[in-house]
Every structure is written in structure tokens, then in C-alpha cells.
Amino acid sequence: MKINLIAGAAALAVVAVVGCASKQLVPPNKVEPVTVSGKATLSIGPPSAYGCFAIINVASGKVLEIKGDDNLMTAQPNPKNIQQYTGLDFGTGTSQNQKWYLVQQGTGTITGSTPFKILNVANGLYLEAPDGNAGTQLFTDHGNAFPAQIWYLHKVGATNNYYIQNSNGFVLTNNGSSTANGAAITQAALVNNNSQYWNFNSLTAEAYRDDQVNQFFSRTSGSIAFDQGSSIPLSYGANNGKVLWVGEDTYTSNIGTWDPVTKTFPCYGGNQLQLFDVRNSALLQPSSTNWDPSQTSNITTHNSAYKYEILASPNPNDHGGTYTWPGVGVEIDNHVYMYAHEGGGTFNSTVIYDFTENTGGLDWGTAVRHTVNGLSNQTDIDYPLGFVKPGDGYVYAYGNLSDAFGGKYLYVARFATGTPFTWQFWDGTNWAATPSTASTAQLGLDGNTTKSLRTSSSVAYLNGKYVLVEMDFGYGCPGSSDPHNIYVSTATSPTGPFTSRKKMYAIQDKINGVLANHYVINAHPVFNNGRNELLITYCLNFTGCTGVSPCTNNRTDPYYYQLKAVRIPYSTAGI
């Protein structure tokens, strides 16, 4: 939730895995496992049905990578950006553009006729052959069903060498056996020499960009772009299996400024996004595995006069200056209880809204506003970081100081599932009737050695653990050398302490060479892709950076106000 910011082919979901903590690669013809500089053991060997690898050219000893420029994170019209480069630091969340997932299509023993897709960890896009011409440099693209993304891995005799052949018959080639960094990787007819032979260096599983989920939020109707992006799994009646997505400030297709042809919004002042249309919205996804955006629609309520807005601003006559920002929520029986902050002008309050589910349509009637003793009559702590229902009869609400720009300290409150408007607040020893900001009430982090949070946080419950996801400060034009990472730590109790945080992923969204503003991280355990990976989303917002604009000809692509998704493997995160 943003409260503290103001106050202070798609059917395949693939995991991107990180790397080993190595500063260099195993020499390309070395077969046995090698320990580099006392760090993690790397090994060159056969491919697996699903796994993360550095792919090393035998002729040059350099690794396959996608060029790490401004086009890295988005599919371009045939950008021809696949090249080779020296293997860099393969620690967790580093050199992500040099890491690849091999994803077997189907099952069975791997042979030279087994189809694979090859996914880049940094951007979640797939290695693709652009055409049927020898010598063409390769590129990455959104997942699709075209044979241009199908590759076959052919073992060369008794060695650990493979040639990688596309469905068009051409093979992955280091043209001329170049040893230069940045040399293009092309497709060519098979000639059976080291320029076309590759080794697979197995890497430890790590977080990856989930482009399928990103494409789900690349919408063209209803809520086209928004921030926040918490999810509420539903299980009541005909809504069983559906997921409610909650957005805050939202750009919609409802007003005439959206151009469905160019898929852009106008800018104001020549270099910034237009002001959003509504202060909140919500989408109803038909199932946790359906990522077709055309099948997910907005719910509506009778609370606001604005189309797609589910909750009115506290002062409807000042719709732009005041706001109701809904955040996390939980389903109990046929009700959804949603946390919301009312702010702007003289307004500063947190409340709970009670939605009665509609199991047969998108009109959810009128949500009922409730104030809560201990919550609504204080402004010290907000609780937008997670509503967790572990099955012990309580819902745990996680929060932080309301003046901490999204971070600083972690607090927890709770309410019984039968009494959602009666809250208790953890004071470090007991559950009390009012919240405390004392250090004793702050949950321990990093194995209880610190109380300090990263800027943006989210708490979820998964596999019997309370999972804290954090993100470095990324709002206000972060510099390229500033940390911009996502971290995970866990606890076995709702009151902590949490384990030492582990770096999982480095955010790389850029515009005009500048790292984009990023904020509001959320964890989504409901979205199980069958790979034992936790879905994380974060928001982009590129307003306020001097001299850098997302606008072209006074129009802007909503890409920089849409959620971005990352998958984090349970094994690496300790979940």
C-alpha cells in the first residue's frame, strides 16, 4: 500500500533460477565439479528437464547472454540482442541476463528429439530464432506457440558438449569462433565444431521475472494500469478458486484519454503521466491459473459515482485531492474484509470495509465502512502489509510506522475470524487493546539482531511459515548504484522473529537509461504454478524524475504504471 509514500507464450509459467556464488565459470571442457574460490560448487554436465544454467560456448569460453541495455526487460520488434560475454558474478540476484532456464516441453527421457524452451532469468522472455535465414542474430520474445521458440539439445559423443538446434534446423552459433565480448550469437547450418558446441553449467535456483503474469497486467480495458496490487483468494460458493486483485490509483479505459489504437495515455506538462482516473479499483480473476487478461474483469460497487471505483474518496467533491486506498484483505465465509486508508486534506484514518460477495456476477453491491477501536482512532501505525489467515482462528495484520515511507519497523495485530472489527495488538509480550510503537512491540528481523525494515514490505503465510518479503528504497529516482533488491526472510510464529533476510532478485526496469521508480511489494501464495515458487509483484511509477520522461509525443505507454512479477523458488528462500 502507498500510505507511507504520501506520508513520508504465454501458457507456460517458468521459474527463473539464480546462480551460484562464483566469480568465474568452470572452464568449458572441465567435466568434474569444480569449487571456485571456496564458494559454491559448480558443475558442467547434462541438461535437466527444468533447471537454471549458464550456457557456455566451447570455442570462446564465454556465456550466452541477452544484451543488458534499456531493451533488456521488454520484448522488442526483432532487436537481435543475443550475444556472448565473459561470465560475471553468479551470486544470487546478479548477472541475471546471463542465466537461462531450460524448460522441457512434455515429459520423458531427454534425447536429441526432446523439445525445450529456453527462458532468460532477467526478463522472463524466451530465446527465439527470428527467421529462417542463416547468420541472423537471435533475440528473446514473449512466450508463444511458434516453433521458433523450440530448441533441441544434441549431445556430442561422450563429451559434455551439446549443439542447440532450433525447429528451423539451424543451430546456435558463435560466428567465426569469436572470443570478443558482445559478439553476436547467430543461427547457422550445423558444421560440428566448437563454435556450435555449448556446455551447460548448472546453477542454484533463484528468482526470475514472470513475463506471463506481466502480460496479464498489460491490460486494454477496465483498469488498465494501477498500483498496490494485493490479491485476495476466494473460496465461497461459485467464487471458489477466483482471486480478487485490489488496485489503488488507477488509469482506466472509461474516459476518452485512453487511445485503444496506440494503447497510450496522454501526458501532462509534456513529460509526466496524466493524473489517474479513479483512486481505487478491483479485478476478479476467474482462477489462480488463468492469466488471460481478457477473461478478468472489474467488479463494481454502489459506493462511488465513478465507474470502476469501488470505494469513494472521503471528500467526493475533492476526488483528486482526497483518496481511499484499499489494500490487503481476507475472505471469511461470504464476506471480504478489506483494509483501507482515507487520506488527503484533513483526512487521515484507517478503516475496514465489509464486502458481501456476489457469486453470480460483478456487481458487489455496497461495501459497509467500519471503524475499529485501537486501529481507526490512531495514526501512528498503518497495517497494509498483509492479512494472514494461518488457520488458527485468527487473521494477523502486519503494519509499519505511518511516517516511515513504507518501512522502518514491523508490527502485528490480530482479530478472530468471527469478530473482524475487534482487534488486538502485539506489545512484545501480550495482545493488547491498543497498538504500541515501543521497541518491544517491533518484530525482530535478521534473526532478531535488528528491528529495521527495508522500505517496502509484505507478509504472507506459506508452508507453515510467515514469509516476509522486502524491497530496497526505490521511489524518488534511485541511482543505478543504489541497492534495488528483493529479499525474503521467514518465521514460524506470527510475532517472529524472522530469519536473516536473503537477497532474491535485483530489479532492472529502466527508462532512458535510468532505473524506474519501484515501490509497493506484495506476496501472493495463492498462485501455485506447480514449480514450488512464490509469486511476488511490485509497482513501477516513473513520475518525478528530473530530465527523464516516459512520454513520447505527449503520450505514454502504461507499462510504467503496471505491476511487474517475479517468481521466487521456495528452496532458495527457505520456505
Rg (CA), the chain: 25
**Looking at residue 272, what is its pLDDT?**
56
Alpha carbon 123 to chain centroid, angstroms: 11
**Looking at residue 546, what is its pLDDT?**
62
* Other Cβ atoms within 10 Å of 45 Cβ, number: 14
Encode pLDDT of 251-268 as tens digits.
999 876 899 999 998 887
- Same-domain status, 197 and 292: no
- Same-domain status, 319 and 288: yes
Is residue 38 situated within a structural domain?
A: yes
**Cα–Cα dist 293/297, whole Å:** 8
86 beta partners: none
- Rounded to the nearest 5 percent, the helix, strand and coil shares of the chain are 5, 40, 55
Q: 514: closest CA among 476, 566, 554, 473?
A: 476
Is the pLDDT assigned to residue 406 strictly greater than 90?
A: no
Q: Across all residues in the chain, what is the average pLDDT?
A: 89
- Same-domain status, 185 and 230: no
Banded pLDDT at 200 (limits 50, 70, 90): very high
Q: How many domains does the chain have?
A: 2
- Same-domain status, 164 and 270: no
Query: Which range (411-415, 487-491, 525-529, 545-549) has the least confidence?
Result: 545-549
* Other Cβ atoms within 10 Å of 542 Cβ, number: 25
Is residue 3 situated within a structural domain?
A: no
Cell 495482545, located at residue = 431
Is the pLDDT assigned to residue 407 strictly greater than 90?
A: no
Give mean pLDDT, residues 470-494: 88
**Looking at residue 35, what is its pLDDT?**
28
* Other Cβ atoms within 10 Å of 358 Cβ, number: 18
Encode pLDDT of 295-330 as tens digits.
999 999 999 999 999 999 999 999 989 999 999 999
**Cα–Cα dist 332/26, whole Å:** 53
Q: What is the dihedral of CA 337, 339, 343, 349, to 10 degrees?
A: 90
Encode pLDDT of 224-234 as tens digits.
999 999 999 99
- Same-domain status, 222 and 189: no
The residue out of 206, 230, 261 marking a domain boundary is: 206
Domain span holding position 161: 17-206
**Cα–Cα dist 560/541, whole Å:** 6
- Same-domain status, 411 and 536: yes
- Same-domain status, 230 and 168: no
Is residue 534 situated within a structural domain?
A: yes
SS3 252: strand
Is the pLDDT assigned to residue 217 strictly greater than 70?
A: yes
The residue out of 172, 188, 206 marking a domain boundary is: 206
Q: Are 518 and 539 in contact (CB under 8 A)?
A: yes
Instruction: Provide φ and ψ at 124, rounded to 5°.
Output: 70, 10
**Looking at residue 202, what is its pLDDT?**
92
**Looking at residue 191, what is its pLDDT?**
96
> Which contacts qualify for 194-197: CB closer than 8 Å, 24 or more apart?
194/57, 194/58, 194/59, 194/161, 195/57, 195/59, 196/163, 196/171, 196/172, 197/57, 197/58, 197/59, 197/156, 197/161, 197/162, 197/163
Domain of residue 351, CATH code = 2.115.10.20
The residue out of 206, 223, 245 marking a domain boundary is: 206
Give mean pLDDT, residues 523-552: 86
pTM above 0.75, yes or no: yes
* Other Cβ atoms within 10 Å of 120 Cβ, number: 25
* Other Cβ atoms within 10 Å of 47 Cβ, number: 21
Helix (H) or strand (E) holding 572: helix 570-573
Give mean pLDDT, residues 60-82: 90
Domain of residue 202, CATH code = 2.80.10.50
Q: Are 254 and 260 in contact (CB under 8 A)?
A: no
8-state DSSP, 216: H
